[in-house]
Amino acid sequence: MLQILYKYLALNKRAVIPGVGAFYIHRKPATLDFSNKAFIAPTTKILFDESLIDGDKNFYSFIAKEQQIEEGEAVQSFNQFSKDLKENLQTNRAVQLPGVGLLTKDGSGKVVFQPVDSVASFYPNVSVEREISEVVYKEQVVVESKESDDRIVETEMAEVEPPSKKKDYWWLIAALLAVVAIAAIIYYYNENGSFR
């Protein structure tokens, strides 16, 4: 049943376990952190809401389809799963849901959820530092002034041209092939006297 629950959660971004709570998938899109010059990868996090405890009719239909059983039987099967999960949580104070996270009960009886690490947490942020190659310092010239002992440093900026594209010489090869073809035609005509 846990595999079906996880599959339903992945497909619909929400799954409710009656009497326990609802699981949500919250997706945070990728962002650019300009101050740290970093590209932050998108993240997906599973959240839990204990206040939603009513069943989802679509989920029962999904269970029936996945297990190839009648919907009434799917409702009974999932209600039994939900009941067992609540009892297990009550007695052991912790239930591990593979692929989803860990449900625990604190001293006041409140259900606390710790999601599993998302795949994105294993990938570091990417540096997006831009290299400026259009402008480069050409040289520094030290000029001494006769009127004072101050040195004036002038920096000249020069724009660097983008690397030139490699010249194409395809037309030269085409012209050479045309000359060879014409020479072959003339040779054939001289040897045979006609084109027949």
Instruction: Give the pLDDT score at 115.
Output: 85
Instruction: Give the pLDDT score at 123.
Output: 62
For the ranges 82-91, 97-106, 131-140, 184-193, the lowest mean pLDDT is seen at 131-140
CB hemisphere CA count around 160 (13 angstroms): 9
Query: Which residue blocks in the chain are alpha helix, DSSP H?
Result: 2-12, 57-67, 71-92, 170-192
Kindly report the pTM of this predicted structure: 0.55
Q: How far apart are CA 86 and CA 104, in angstroms?
A: 11
pLDDT digits (tens, 9 = 90+) for 89-121: 888 888 888 878 888 888 787 888 888 876 555
Task: Report the pLDDT averaged over residues 173-185.
Answer: 92
Is pLDDT above 80 for 53? Answer: no
Sheet holding 101-105, edge to edge: 94-97, 101-105, 111-115
Task: Report the pLDDT averaged over residues 45-50.
Answer: 86
Instruction: Give the pLDDT score at 86.
Output: 86
Structure-model confidence comparison of residues 167 and 72, the more confident one:
72
Structure-model confidence comparison of residues 34 and 188, the more confident one:
188
For the ranges 3-7, 116-120, 180-184, the lowest mean pLDDT is seen at 116-120
A 10 A CB-CB count for 64 gives 18
Task: Report the pLDDT averaged over residues 55-63.
Answer: 84
| DSSP-derived secondary structure for 2-15 | HHHHHHHHHHHSEE
Task: Report the pLDDT averaged over residues 38-66.
Answer: 83
Taking the domains of the chain in order of start, what are their residue ranges? 2-127
